[in-house]
Structure 1
Amino acid sequence: MQDMAQDQEAMMDDLAQRLRETRAVFEQASQIPRVASAIRGLQRIETSLGRPPRVGIFGEFNSGKTSLTNILIGRKALPTSVVTSDRGSTLLRYADQPELYAIGAEGGRHRLTTAAFQKLIARPALTEIGVPFPRLRNYEIIDTVGVSDPSLGGLPPKRAANSYVHGAVWCTVASQAWKRSEVSQWRTIPESVRKRSLLVVTHLDAVPNPQDREKIAERIRSEAANLFHGFVMISLTQALRALSPEGEIVDETAWYNSGAAELEHWFSEIVAMARVDKRRRAVAAARAIAQRLLSAPLRTPHEIAVSHLQAAWSNRVRRRVRDAAGGRDIGQLTVEQHIETLVSAARGFAAYGLEPWLQKRVRTGTMRDILALLPREPAQVRGVVAGMEPAQAHRALALIVDQVAAELREALMEITPAKGDRPAELPRQVAEAASAVSAWGNEQAG
């Protein structure tokens, strides 16, 4: 297994080196917007490759997730309790010095000092902890809240699996293993993640009879074998007693008898599988970036500016409406509030987003006609939604945003481009590097 991990690490290093060399060539033409976008894409892939695979620990309330996490990181680091914990989901990763971050429901990441932590009121969706534990050099772990207690916040299994993890472990209590409620929750996790997953039967001490344990194992094999890569039965308390505070195994017999040695074997397998999948995804993403760079003629500065302005309009309005809703569903805004927000966004966009660019290219009268496309007064909008039910009105207001974006693009594209407004040419060395990455990616996929 160690040789396999070393081979995988060498392949990751080779891929990262290829990406760095390609990016160095692209940076010679970073003034071309599409090349600059490709450079940013390669940087994101490199950053992802620099992180180890991430495994999510899932299960119902009090199923032993945190104790299992402590075994996997080799430290009794996270608090465990028989009462509800309100700390939400926790991401554990390696760091040379301890670090603490809060990650909100919208994905914002904020570093927390001691003082900032004391001021934290809203429970984050995810608390990220960086600690200098050697095992976390090979994998990261998300210890999630109990899925049977949605009041705790944190990350639902489906969202965590889609957005955060490469592999998964589901903890089920031996005395009532693999209930119907667990099956339904597990099936919400994408099949791509379930391929790299373990079912861990915990609290084995509560079932001391070997025959009863074998019955549980037989039922698991019968009902869950096609939903997991493997399954393990473990006594968490016995395994933790076999560990020293520094994570060393001090009682080999107890460690083996607890099921922890088998857990390590299976867990190493899903981490290795996740590492292979990370590389496959990175190769596919690099190939897509290269092919996109080569696939179509480069746009003129005029076309790029129009596209940016069109996107800026839509993004500005949606951001204003979301802020006005204050985290609630937009449907909870009154229709009048939604109209006022839309008009306010239009006024701000006209003042700060459109005019400076337009003034360089068009006459004042033409600019006035284009800006007239924006809903600058509430009365312009009220008539459109008059008599509609609130839900229908909100949908109509969203359509207005899209319609204005389309009309803006049409009007702006009719403006005569400035003199010398021609598309840039993709330098030969950039095209050759992109072609090489595309061909290599096809070869790897084959």
Structure 2
Amino acid sequence: MTDETAALQASRKPRIALMGEFSAGKSTLSNLLLGARPLPEKVTATRLAPVWMSYGDTAPYRVTVEGATEPVALERLESIPVQETRVIRLFMECDILELCDLIDFPGISDPNMSSNVWERMLPEVDAVIWCTHATQAWRQSEAAVWDMMPDAVRDFSVLLITRYDKLTTDKDRRRVFQRVRRETDGQFAATFPISLLQALQAGDDYEKWDASGAGPFVTHLIDMIEKLTKVAARTDQPLYNIANGTKIPEPVRATIMPRRVQRVRQDAEPDDDTSDGAVRASS
């Protein structure tokens, strides 16, 4: 093993935030990427402090705003005081978390939750998958929050136009996609229209999987994680903390074996935002 390979393996994993306004599809996206519900059936992530998910079987705990840690019970997560909690840490053994950490943020537009709840976790972020609802895509409130992001984070982030199937005509779909691309020009590494529920329901039908928009998005995501992993190995802090104009270390161009992105079907048939699905990257 070369010193460079050892350094890469010892480095921290990329940290990817799932963000967007209330009811933009973040919970469905989380289920899709993880292949399972990270939270119990009756627990809603929108009522929680940010949830940081990593690979492993460590018991869940919360980190207070003062930095102390306390064990928590999954079935009682909604009893955790939001304003006094910086982050909830959950651990699962699933494919995507072998590659990166995911941080599920509450909806940015929730009038019942102070923005401090999620703003204080932004310094931990390397990249963002931002979900915007197709029928009201890229609202002014979303654009205002995205203006806070440094260029280093934007350079790797992805914009998902979710619930794309709610746009009933090709004309409407083209119009929304073109407008969003125009209004966010240069602010994201890539933009994908997607129907997350259709992706969950695709099963082993790869044509339906790709038609939902999930195929192109997940292929891009795996490539993005590979690049972020190389950058994280050469950066002693999350990319959010790197000031605009600072040169970001280039990813190492290592030889990568051919890979494929697999969709693994779960037993349950999805019928709403709490449905299960799975995404797997394999070499």
The aligned amino acid for 2:232 is: K
C-alpha contact (below 8 Å) 2:50/2:118 kept by paired residues? no
Partner SS state of residue 226, structure 1 = coil
CA distance in 1, matches of 2:105, 2:142: 15
Counterpart of 2:217?
263
| d(CA) in 2 for partners of 1:55, 1:125 | 17
The offset of 1:67, in angstroms, is: 0.7
**Aligned partners of 1:239 and 1:259 also within 8 Å:** yes
Q: Which residue of 132, 136, 143 corresponds with 1:176?
A: 136
Change (3 A) 1:120 1:270: same
Q: Are residues 73 and 153 of structure 1, via their aligned partners in 2, closer, same or farther at CA, if it must alter by over 3 Å? A: farther
CA distance in 2, matches of 1:200, 1:80: 25
Q: CA deviation at 1:242?
A: 2.3
Q: Determine if contact 1:98/1:132 at 8 Å carries over to the other structure.
A: no
- Residue 152 of structure 1: SS of its match in structure 2? coil
1:414 match: none
Change (3 A) 1:84 1:259: same
Match status 1:94 vs 2:55: yes
1:278 aligns with 2:270: no
Q: Residue 98 of structure 2 corresponds to which residue in structure 1?
A: 137
Alignment correspondent of 2:7 = 15
Identity within the alignment, % = 28
* Residue 151 (str. 1) matches residue 138 (str. 2): no
Aligned length: 236
Match of 1:359 in 2: none
Aligned CA distance change for structure 1 residues 102 and 256 (closer, same or farther; 3 Å):
same
Alpha-carbon distance change, 13 to 120 in structure 1, aligned in 2, over 3 angstroms: farther
Query: Any conservation in 1 of the 2:87–2:121 contact (CA below 8 Å)?
Result: no
Q: Check the 8 A contact 2:106/2:118 in 1, yes or no.
A: no
One-letter amino acid of the counterpart of residue 136, structure 1: L
Q: Does the aligned pair in 1 maintain the 2:55–2:93 contact within 8 Å?
A: yes
- Which residue is equivalent to 2:263? none
- The change in CA–CA distance for 1:206 and 1:200 in structure 2 (over 3 A counts) is same
By how many angstroms is 1:12 displaced?
A: 5.7
Distance apart, 1:281 and its partner CA = 1.0
Q: Distance in 1 between matches of 2:119 and 2:3?
A: 30
The one-letter amino acid of 2:6's match is: D
Return the structure number with greater relative CO, CA threshold 8 A, min gap 6: 2
Aligned partners of 1:125 and 1:154 also within 8 Å? no
Give the 3 Å change call, closer, same or farther, for CA 266–106 of structure 1 in structure 2: farther
User: Which whole-Å CA distance do the structure 2 matches of 1:170 and 1:13 have between them?
Assistant: 31
In the alignment, structure 1 segments of 5+ residues that lack a partner are 1-8, 18-45, 244-249, 284-440
Could you tell me which of 111, 127, 131 is aligned with 2:88?
127
What is the CA–CA distance in structure 2 between the aligned matches of 1:108 and 1:98, rounded to whole Å?
17
Q: Please give the root-mean-square deviation of Cα atoms over the aligned residues, in Å.
A: 3.1
Give the conservation status (yes or no) of the 8 Å contact 2:8–2:233. Answer: no
Once residues 56 and 217 of structure 1 are traced to their aligned partners in structure 2, the CA distance between those partners, rounded to angstroms, is 23
Structure 2-normalised TM-score? 0.73
**Equivalence for 2:66:** 106
Rg comparison, structure with higher value: 1
Once residues 62 and 4 of structure 2 are traced to their aligned partners in structure 1, the CA distance between those partners, rounded to angstroms, is 29
Amino acid in the other structure paired with 2:51? T
1:167 aligns with 2:127: yes
The TM-score normalised by the length of structure 1 is: 0.48
What is the Cα deviation at residue 85 of structure 1? 3.5
Partner of 1:61: 22
- Could you report, residue by residue, the CA deviation over 1:223-271 in whole angstroms, capped at 9, with x for unpaired residues? 112100001110011011124xxxxxx2212211110111102212322
Q: Is the 8 A contact 1:103 1:110 kept in 2?
A: yes
Deviation string for 1:351-382 (max 9, x for gaps)?
xxxxxxxxxxxxxxxxxxxxxxxxxxxxxxxx
The one-letter code of the counterpart of 1:14 is A
| Matching residue's letter, 1:195 | D
Structure 1 residues 154 and 87: CA distance shift in structure 2, 3 A: farther
Mapped contact 1:145–1:154 kept (Cα < 8 A): no
Relative to structure 1, the CA distance from residue 57 to residue 251 in structure 2 (aligned partners, 3 Å threshold; closer, same or farther) is same
CA distance in 2, matches of 1:11, 1:208: 54
Q: Distance in 1 between matches of 2:185 and 2:107?
A: 23
Say if 2:187 is the partner of 1:195. Answer: no
Q: Are the structure 2 counterparts of residues 150 and 191 from structure 1 closer, same or farther at C-alpha, using a change threshold of 3 Å?
A: farther
Instruction: Pick closer, same or farther for the CA change 1:16–1:61 going to 2, 3 Å.
Output: closer
Higher share of residues assigned strand:
2
Q: Kindly provide the amino acid, as one letter, of the partner of residue 127 in structure 1.
A: I
Q: SS in structure 1 opposite 2:6?
A: helix
Change (3 A) 1:155 1:139: farther
Distance 1:146 1:223 in 2: 21
Rounded Cα–Cα distance in structure 2 between residues aligned with 1:84 and 1:118: 9
Does the aligned pair in 1 maintain the 2:54–2:102 contact within 8 Å? yes
CA apart distance, 1:111: 2.9
